[in-house]
Amino acid sequence: MPNFYKDNEDIKFLFKHIDLSEIAGLCEEDFRFAEKYDYAPANEQEAIQNYDMVLDSVGQLSAEFIAPRAEDVDKEGPTLNDDSSVTYAKGITESLDKLAKADVMGFTLPYRFGGINFPNVIYSIAIELVSRADASLMNIFGLQGIAETIEAFASEEIKQRYLYDFSAGKVTGAMALTEPDAGSDLQSVKLKAFQDEDGDWYLNGVKRFITNGCGNVLLVLARSEPDRKGGLGLSLFVCDRGSTVHIRRLEDKLGIHGSPTCEMFFDNTPCQLIGERQRGLVKYVMSLMNGARIGIAAQSVGIAEAAYNVARDYAASRVQFGVSIEKLPAVRDMLIEMKIAIETSRALLYETSMVVDMEIGYEKLLEQNPPDDKDEVKKLKKDSRKYKRYAGMLTPMSKYYCSESCNTITYDAIQVLGGSGYMKDYDCERYARDARITTIYEGTSQLQIVAAVRGVCSGTAEKFIAELAQQQYDNKVKDLLGKLAEGTEQLKEAIAFVKENGSEYMDLYGRAIVDIAVDLINGYLLCGQASSKVDMQVKQTPEGNSKSETIQMKERKGIIARRFVTKNSTKIKGLVELICSGDKSTFSEYCNMIGPVQ
C-alpha cells in the first residue's frame, strides 16, 4: 500500500537521526501524564513509538486517500452559498473527516483537551506528508496554531469552550488578520473592537485574504484602542462564525484551490478578548504567525517532494535520442539540485522545529515546574533565552528558504517534463501553481529576510553556527568542516561591513547575508547527517544496471554534503564580495535606472 511516510527514506532516516528523546521528555513534562491518561507515554521509547505510529497513519492516509482526490479538489474548489456560508470541495470534506477520525486534529494540544500532545517537529513532518498529497488541504489541517494560541493565551473558560472541539475535528479555524489596507503592515489594522455598557466586546469591519475565513472559530486582530495608532492599539479576539459574520466573496486564485480565501465583514459580531488588551499584535499574533511560518515551510517541502517525484519518474522513463533523458547531463544536474534542495530544506525545517520545541519546553518548565536549585534555574533561564533567540532567527529563515526552494523545484519539474509539464495531463502544473503562494502568505520572502537578517547580524547566527561546529563529526568530512569554518569567517567579514554602513544597507543586502548563513547551517547539518550513528540502508540502481543495490544512508549523505558544501563555498565567497562592494546604486540611482511610472 502507498505510504508517503514509509516511502520517503530521508524522512525515516531523519526520524532516527535527530534526538527526539530530549524533545519527548520536555513535551511530556518528564512523562507525568502517563499516570492520568492511559494513552500518554510512560517513557521516551514509548513516546517515539507513538510518533512513528501516527506518522505511519498520516503517511498512509495521505497517499491512499488524500492524494487521489487532490486533482478533483483543485478543479472543484469551494462554493460561496447564498446564505454567506461556504461549502468545501467534496474531497476536502472527506479528507478532513478522515483526519478527524485518525485523531490528529489536536496534534499539539494537551491531553486534557483531547489532544495528542505531540512536539512541533513531528507536526512539521505530518504537515509535509499532507502537503505532498494536497497543499490546499494543509491550509486547513495546518491551522491548528489557532487552537495553540487559544491554549497558550486565553482564559480557562475560552479554552474549555473551544479546544475539545478542535481536537475532535468538529470545528476548523481561521486567523483573521489582514485587511484591504493592512496586508504585511498589520499595525495599520482598522477593524474596530468596542464594548457595550455591560463590558461585552463586539467587532465591526472588513478582513480580506483570510485563509479558511469560513471556519467555525475565528481569531481576529482588531483595534481596541481607537485613540491609539500602531501595534499597541490592537488586541486579539475570538469569535464564532455566526449570523453576524458575512463572507462577501471567495478569491479566484492561481493555486491552492481547495482552500477558501475569504473577504469577510463583521457586523457587530460578539467576541471575547484573548489575553490582555493592547498585546494582540506584539505578543499573540507574532506567536501565531511564527507557528504558521513553520507550517508554510513544511507545506513547501511537501509540494517540492511531490513535484520532484513526478520529474524523476518521467526522466527515468522518457526516452529521447535513444536514452532516458535522465542520462543527459543537463537534466541529470537539474534533478540532483532538486533532490539536494529538498533534503537541505527538510534538514533546516526539522532543526527549526526542534529549536521551537526546546524554546517552548524550557519556558513551560520554568513557569510550571521550576527546579528548587537556584543555579539550575539560572541555567534553565539562560538556555530558554538562547532557544528563543535561535527560534526567532531560524523561523523566518526556514520559511524563506523552504518556500523559495519549493518554487524553484516545481518550476524545474515542469522543465524536466518539457511540453508535457505545461499540460494538465501531469500534476506538475498544479504543484507550480500551489507553490507560488508559499513565498507570499504569512509574510513574503522579503519580510522573512528582514526578520532573519537581524538575527544573523546580531550575533545569533554566529553562536548557532559555533554550536553546530562543536558537534562530533567523522573524519571523512573534516575538509568540508574546514570550508564551512572559512565561510563563517567570511560571513563575519560581511556582517562587520554591513554594520558600518547602517540598517538600510543591511536590508539592501539582507538576502545575500541570509543566504550565506543558511548555506553554512545546512552545510553543518548535512555533515552531521553524514556522521550519523544511524545504521540504515537505502536502495539505489547502479549505472547501467537495472538491479537495485543498497548504500548506507550516511554514506549517501556524505556524497550530498560534499557536493553542497564545495559548490556553496565559491558562492559564499562571491556573495561576500558583493556585500563588501559598497554599491549603493539602488538608493542613489534608482530613478535614473528605473525611469518614470508609466
Contact (Cβ atoms closer than 8 angstroms) between residue 40 and residue 30: no
For 290-330, the pLDDT digits (tens) are 999 999 999 999 999 999 999 999 999 999 999 999 999 99
Distance CA 2, CA 62 (A): 9
Distance CA 455, CA 302 (A): 27
Question: What is the SS3 assignment for 210?
Answer: strand
Integer CA distances (angstroms), 454 to 207, 450, 463, 492, 511, in order = 30, 7, 14, 14, 11
**Residues above pLDDT 70, as percent of the chain:** 99
Domains recognised in the chain with CATH numbers: 9-168+282-437 (1.20.140.10), 173-281 (2.40.110.10), 444-582 (1.20.120.470)
How many contiguous H segments (helices) and E segments (strands) does the chain have? 22, 13
Mean pLDDT score, 419-436: 97
Residue from 390, 307, 400 nearest 352 by CA: 390
Which burial class, exposed, middle or buried, applies to 563 when counting CB atoms under 10 A from its CB (0-12, 13-18, 19+)? middle
Tell me, letter by letter, the H, E, C secondary structure of 5-59.
CCCCHHHHHHHHHCCHHHHHHHHCCCCHHHHCCCCCCCCHHHHHHHHHHHHHHHH
In the predicted structure, residue 86 carries a pLDDT above the cut 80:
yes
For 8-38, the pLDDT digits (tens) are 999 999 999 999 999 999 999 999 999 999 9
In the predicted structure, residue 547 carries a pLDDT above the cut 80:
no
In the predicted structure, residue 387 carries a pLDDT above the cut 70:
yes
Say how far residue 25 (Cα) sits from the centre of its chain: 23
Quick count: other Cβ atoms within 10 Å of Cβ 546? 6
| H helical segments located in 28-155 | 44-61, 67-76, 90-101, 120-133, 135-141, 145-153
Where is 323: in which H helix or E strand?
A: strand 323-324
Task: Supply the pLDDT for residue 546.
Answer: 57
Task: Supply the pLDDT for residue 550.
Answer: 79
Task: Supply the pLDDT for residue 183.
Answer: 85
Integer CA distances (angstroms), 134 to 60, 96, 141, 543, in order = 14, 12, 11, 34
**Residues above pLDDT 90, as percent of the chain:** 92
For 256-279, the pLDDT digits (tens) are 999 999 999 999 999 999 999 999
pLDDT range class, residue 544, cuts 50, 70, 90: low
In the predicted structure, residue 545 carries a pLDDT above the cut 60:
no
Average pLDDT, the chain: 95
- pTM comes to 0.97
Question: What is the SS3 assignment for 544?
Answer: coil
Contact (Cβ atoms closer than 8 angstroms) between residue 526 and residue 558: no
In the predicted structure, residue 542 carries a pLDDT above the cut 80:
no
Task: Supply the pLDDT for residue 29.
Answer: 93
In the predicted structure, residue 548 carries a pLDDT above the cut 90:
no
Task: Supply the pLDDT for residue 1.
Answer: 83
Task: Supply the pLDDT for residue 472.
Answer: 96
Quick count: other Cβ atoms within 10 Å of Cβ 322? 6
Task: Supply the pLDDT for residue 539.
Answer: 79
Mean pLDDT score, 69-81: 98
In the predicted structure, residue 425 carries a pLDDT above the cut 80:
yes
Mean pLDDT score, 158-187: 95
Residue from 475, 484, 474 nearest 531 by CA: 474
